[in-house]
A = this chain, B = another copy of it.
Amino acid sequence: MKYNIPADVPKNKEETYKKNLKSATNATNHLMLFAGDQKVEHLNNDFYGKDIPLEDNSPEHLFKIASRAKIGVFATQFGLISRYGRDYKNIPYLVKLNSKTNLVPYDKQDPYSKAWLSVGDVVAFAKESKLDIKGVGYTVYLVGAYEHEMLTQAASIVHEAHKNGLLAVLWIYPKGRFVKDEHDGHLIAGAAGVGAALGADFVKLKVPYDKKGKFNPKLLREATMAAGRTGVLCEGGAKTDEKEFLTQLYEQIHKGGSRGNGTGRNIHQRPLQEAVKMANAVYAITSQNATVKEALKLL
């Protein structure tokens, strides 16, 4: 398979970059990202409550899933990787560099999520700890008083990642006072284009809805085309029915042109064994070219 290597990956890091991209995508260029950064983004809402198994309340649940299931990368904060990494050395990690809480509504104050640590910190950490860190992630909120800071950090993080042969994934969400519909397909295509202009390898986006609030894979094509060589990952969202989830995932890729997904709650809000199976099913569709039917057999 031919990889599109960004021009800012230096010669002596090309092999590292290719190896990271190949192993993270199972040589399909499609990425299954297991999203585990919600301990900050949603505080404890996603991990404790009605219909959530108690074991999900422990951060270790995420690491158990990530180490036993087939996944592309497990995206979570540096601190959690640091605390559990020595016992979970087989996980392919992606360090999510920024996070914010959900305490302030987006329309009350423009959101700003700042990088907690630098790419250089991650590179030094990977070298010292020998953990398998394949890339870094960063969220950009398009809007308002801090957009410029996040765009600048994102551009710098992508570039620094590439200079070190790492993958760079951006979460890009238009938000706040001036955004009427976060699921508008044209707006999401705009975010996709921003991800491309920032040089990201993958950009995680909201899923576009039609006027009735339904996902329609055709709407997604504007975004996946606008993203160019940057792969679009669709947000997993709140937990739903397995078949519905996997069918939609399949359509995102095969009809909408996405190149993967970022799934959290639909995996970790289950007992360990079920969660591992669900992750495997998501991986099968994303990075093993499975059909929905084949994937459902894994559950």
Q: Give chain A's interface residues, CB within 8 Å of chain B.
A: 4-8, 10-11, 37, 39-40, 43-45, 47-49, 54, 57-60, 76-86, 98-101, 103-105, 108-109, 112-117, 121, 125, 128-129, 131, 142-145, 147-149, 151-152, 154-156, 158-159, 162, 174, 177-179, 186-187, 189-194, 196-200, 222, 225-226, 228-230
Contacts and interface: CB of A to CB of B under 8 A. Distances in A.
B82 A7 contact: yes
A4 B82 contact: no
A116 B43 contact: no
A83 B225 contact: no
A219 to B, nearest CB: 12
Contacts of A77: 155, 197-199
A60 B193 CA distance: 12
A78 B155 contact: yes
Given A59-B226, A83-B6, A47 B179 contact: no
A207 to B, nearest CB: 16
